[in-house]
A = this chain, B = another copy of it.
Amino acid sequence: MSPAPLDPHPDRLFPAEPGVRDIARQLYQQIADAPIISPHGHVPAEWLADDTPFSDPTTLLLTPDHYTNRMLHAAGGVDLEDLGVPVGTELTEAQARTGFRKLCENWKVLRGTPVQFWFESEFHDVFGVKVRPSAETADQIYDQIADCLTKDEFTPRALYKRFNIEALATTDDPCSDLSAHRKLAEDPTWDGRVVPTFRPDAYLEPARAGWRDLTENLAGVTDVDIVDYRSHVEAMRTRRLFFKEQGAVSTDHSHSDAGTARLSDAQADRFFQEALRGTISPSDGDALRRHMLNDQARLACDDGLVMTLHPAVYRNHDSATLQRFGADVGGDVPHTVEFTRALQPMLDAYGNAEGFHLVVFTMDETTFSRELAPLAGWYRGMFVGAPWWFIDEADAIMRYRRAVTGYAGFSKTSGFIDDTRAYCSIPARHDVARRVDSGFLANLVAEHRLTFDEAAETAVDLVSTQPRKVFKL
């Protein structure tokens, strides 16, 4: 028996009702080929700076993609080592092939998930695969992709062009010298746009192990003598400006809650001195972190960097996996989050300030209609971020539009972000959002809530005007 074909349908993800699908198809045609704006993600800038060809399918497609890793792990029978985790592990050809086989053998467990959609799209559209992954087809697909990777059209830069990326943001440590970004900027043969993002989380957690080393490093990099709270802010200000000079448009923040309550100056400094001595308690550390986050907003009003927030994830939930593979390989789990009270101090101070932009992402979908849309429906600088991470799939994107649009409309939403380490999935991920938004808008047209011309203009706005405006790109 010949293997089942892999043949993604041109109408996939559009609503099933024929009339609505026709409208969706028309809307989608206007945006299907629009340039990709990716204002939040995790592709290493080095890939593009060095333009080294990718080594093998597994290292490229599986190792860095914790979406896939998690699902294969959960299904049983696959260990993270099989997939080349952690990033940086050198795989022999045999190991890489075996890892890739694990994906194909477990293809069924991905059914109905976005991971299936992404792989189907990238296998087919990027690498020309025409058979459905399975134990039988694993080697054939592996060989086909491995063969592609030896060609000039599949280097990081060639794919950047082919993917039609207009701007790609990375995520970077405040002390990073951004050498890859600078290398790109100085390369006359490169005309893409890869911008860094300032991610100071660890520097704003004064009660966490390692904070004092980070602070010492920060002092070294900035030449600021960090002896009190004020000098810490000054060091932050300095690095934010350095990032901005290297093209950054935003700062990114993720803590266990969204709190932004201020302390008195004296209290902040008292806590800061304890942090420097290593004696601050966890709860005082949280209080100081909330104060620091509030001050990031103040700095944002000055330097114009957009602030993005995506709190409330229990990191490294599975301690054995953390010990074995380090952070960011899978064991993170969302939990409830509260925004209305938590963001009040920051929004009250800066929410309507000229040039201040705050984009709030959530994995607690309950906050969309209850908190985020109402906040964005009042404060000028506040935008509701698109579904992200655990919920960046078709149904969740549809729920997001249904939950947010009634109160905040379209103009207070961020546009899609892919947030990915899986470079080759970027077009597929943006394509999901474009298809679902087209379907959502098509429904509004079919229900006579928008005219077609209104919907068509909105479809274009969502992939171009909005991300450019919100992220100042």
Task: Give A17 to B332 CA distance when docked, in angstroms.
Answer: 39
Within 8 A of B (CB), among A335-352: 335-336, 338, 340-341, 344, 347-348, 351-352
Q: Is the CB of A14 within 8 A of B366?
A: no
A28-36, A37-45, A367-375: which lies at the interface: A367-375
Contact A111–B448 (Cβ < 8 Å): no
Q: Contact check, A318 vs B12: say whether CB atoms are below 8 A apart.
A: no
B114, B318, B391, B454: which contacts A379 (Cβ < 8 A)?
B318
Q: A108-B411, A347-B317 are in contact. Are A338 and B336 (CB under 8 A)?
A: yes
Tell yes or no: A71 within 8 A of B by CB: yes
Please report the C-alpha to C-alpha distance between residue A444 and residue B114 in the assembled complex, in whole angstroms: 12
Residues of B within 8 A of A443 (CB): 16
A327 at the interface (CB under 8 A from B): no
When chains A and B are docked, how far (Å) is the Cα of A190 from the Cα of B112? 41
Contact B112 A374 (CB under 8 A): no
* B318 in contact with A112 (CB, 8 Å): no
Do residues A407 and B113 form an inter-chain contact, with CB atoms below 8 A?
yes
Q: Are B393's CB and A12's CB within 8 A? A: no
- Within 8 Å by CB of A348, from B319, B393, B448, lies B319
Q: Please state if A335 and B111 are interface contacts (CB–CB under 8 Å).
A: no
Shortest beta-carbon distance from A361 to chain B in Å: 13
Contact with B along A65-86 (1 / 0, CB 8 A): 0000011011110000000000
Contact partner, A390, options B13, B320, B374, B405, Cβ 8 Å: B374
One of A3-11, A196-204, A293-301 at the interface? A3-11
* B residues near A332, Cβ cutoff 8 Å: 374
In the complex, the answer to whether B111 meets A458 with C-beta atoms within 8 Å is yes
A378 with B318, Cβ < 8 A, contacts A11-B448, A396-B406 known: yes
A314: B residues at CB distance < 8 A: 340-341, 344
With beta carbons under 8 angstroms apart, the residue of B4, B8, B376, B451 that contacts A74 is B376
- CB of A368 to closest CB in B, whole Å: 10
Chain B residue contacts of A75, Cβ below 8 A: 380, 411-412
Chain B hits for A73, CB < 8 A: 378, 380
Which residues of chain B are near A108, meaning CB under 8 Å? 411, 454, 457
Contacts of A228 in B (CB 8 A): none
Please report the C-alpha to C-alpha distance between residue A373 and residue B70 in the assembled complex, in whole angstroms. 11
Number of copies of this kind of chain in the complex: 3
Q: Which residues of B contact A13 (CB under 8 A)?
A: 447-449
A379 to B318: give the CA distance in the assembly, Å. Answer: 8
Q: Which positions 371-402 of chain A face chain B at CB distance < 8 Å?
A: 371, 373-380, 382, 390-391, 393-396, 399, 402
Q: Is A53 an interface residue (CB 8 A)?
A: no
Known: A71-B409, A317-B348, A366-B366. A4 touches B453 (CB 8 A): yes
Residues of the B chain whose Cβ atoms lie less than 8 Å from the Cβ of A318: 347-348, 351-352, 378-379
B370/A450 in contact, CB under 8 A: no
Query: Which chain B residue shows the least CB distance to A340?
Result: B335
- Taking a contact as CB atoms under 8 Å apart, the answer to whether A370 and B380 are in contact is no
A303 close to chain B: CB less than 8 A = no
> Does the CB pair A317–B335 fall under 8 Å?
no
Please tell me if the beta carbons of A335 and B370 are within 8 angstroms of each other in the complex: yes
5 A/B residue pairs, CB under 8 Å, sorted by A: A11-B448, A73-B378, A74-B377, A320-B348, A390-B407
Task: List 17 other contacts, CB 8 Å, given A317-B340, A335-B370.
Answer: A16-B19, A16-B443, A16-B446, A73-B380, A76-B380, A109-B409, A112-B450, A314-B341, A318-B347, A318-B348, A318-B352, A318-B378, A319-B348, A333-B371, A334-B371, A377-B390, A393-B407
